[in-house]
Amino acid sequence: MSPTYDVVVIGLGGMGSAAAHHLSARGARVLGLEKFGPVHNRGSSHGGSRITRQSYFEDPAYVPLLLRSYELYEELERATGRSIATLCGGVMIGRPGSRAVEGSLRSARQWDLPHEMLDAREIRRRFPTLTPQDDEVALFERKAGFVRPENTVAAHLQLATGAGADLHFEEPMTRWEPCADGVRVHTAENTYTAGQLVICPGAWAPRLLTDLGVPFTIERQVMYWFRPGTGVAPFRPESHPIYIWEDAAGAQVYGFPAIDGPDGGAKVAFFRKGAECTPETIDRTVHDDEIRAMADHMAERIPALPGAFLTAATCMYTTTADEHFVIARHPAHPESVTVACGFSGHGFKFVPVVGEIVADLALTGATGHPIELFDPHRLTAAPAAAPAL
């Protein structure tokens, strides 16, 4: 007899671990299936830190979800005792009219979020590590900061297990199909039945969601850690903010304080600018020319930062055509399947609220959260009719 569950969750990275927690916390019998081990570094939910911010330049529609996510991060910390969110403040830097500055300002004004506008002189005075050009400005948000992705995933897995969820690692789904009572999910080890299926596939979305009808681009991204030439003291979170810095051509870099150990470095990365890949073909080696390009770019903006290269790591973005998420009941299987995917390189700060939304959709078919922006129909008129694999 196959085990029977209320919900099977595919993928236990950032979004899937949060979904497993919220579902099991509501009393659902949950099975989680993960291709790799717990808190792995093969997808998108690793690297020690992710920026969190409320003045969201991508679209003001995200702000209510961010406010709820902040609440849920606090609850997660209290429930597990893990260090997850640090609000060290953040600056969105660029020329007037740039997306980073004007988009952030639009969201801040629309939602009455506390913020300050700084000219280049004031940026340099408050944050001596930063050297903006005279015509650059910044929006400063005190409630910006960073979250710890590995701690977040571990905390959600901890709470899900504590609430009775069965979490199976190194047991990937091979295929699934609808059945009379919901769905039947196959792995190499077993076959499971459940009333609902939740798919949080990360970079495996193109393979696992072929019938969603949404094109995804998988991008290789590189994260770099440098030890500043001045030492790490000026780069500590007490004095150094997170930042998103947009140049005149629209290219963005983002970075963090020095938070990874007493002699550790400060992390920085390009936002976008990644080569297309698949999870199977991604180049995990970071090459010397990539390191030099990052160091040269930052030397103009934070001269002390590229003092000594320490290490680098790769991850993947799963990007939609408009860079907005996909969170919905599956259009081809609206009675039994929920999808959360296409987070386009800016999704991790939403992890806890996405878990809440997915639990709503899987258990009730609807959510009170504003997710109209994430409807997959915006990206395709009609999904293909082939069965999900």
17 is in an annotated binding site: yes
29 is in an annotated binding site: yes
32 is in an annotated binding site: yes
388 is in an annotated binding site: no
The CA-based diameter of the chain, rounded to the nearest angstrom, is 70
Rounded to an integer, what distance in angstroms lies between the CA atom of residue 206 and that of residue 56?
Answer: 27
101 is in an annotated binding site: no
271 is in an annotated binding site: no
93 is in an annotated binding site: no
229 is in an annotated binding site: no
The alpha carbons of the chain give a radius of gyration, in whole angstroms, of 21
168 is in an annotated binding site: no
8 is in an annotated binding site: yes
The tally of CA atoms less than 13 A away on the side-chain side of residue 354 is: 29
15 is in an annotated binding site: yes
Task: Kindly report the length of the chain.
Answer: 389
In 1-17, which positions are buried (b, 16+ CB within 10 angstroms) versus exposed (e)? Answer: eeeebbbbbbbbbbbbb
Q: Are strands 182-187 and 173-179 parallel, antiparallel or unpaired?
A: antiparallel
23 is in an annotated binding site: yes
36 is in an annotated binding site: yes
**Eight-class DSSP state of 344:** T
34 is in an annotated binding site: yes
Rounded to an integer, what distance in angstroms lies between the CA atom of residue 4 and that of residue 79?
Answer: 29
216 is in an annotated binding site: no
10 is in an annotated binding site: yes
25 is in an annotated binding site: yes
- Closest to 131 (Cα-Cα) out of 304, 306, 301: 301
Matching residue, tokens 């990275």: 13
Calculate the CA 118 to chain-centre distance: 28
231 is in an annotated binding site: no
Identity of residue 130: L
Rounded to an integer, what distance in angstroms lies between the CA atom of residue 68 and that of residue 368?
Answer: 12
Rounded to an integer, what distance in angstroms lies between the CA atom of residue 111 and that of residue 66?
Answer: 11
106 is in an annotated binding site: no
291 is in an annotated binding site: no
2 is in an annotated binding site: no
Query: Which helix (H) or strand (E) is 168 found in, with range?
Result: strand 166-169
Which positions make up the binding site? 6-36
- Residues in binding site for FAD: 6-36
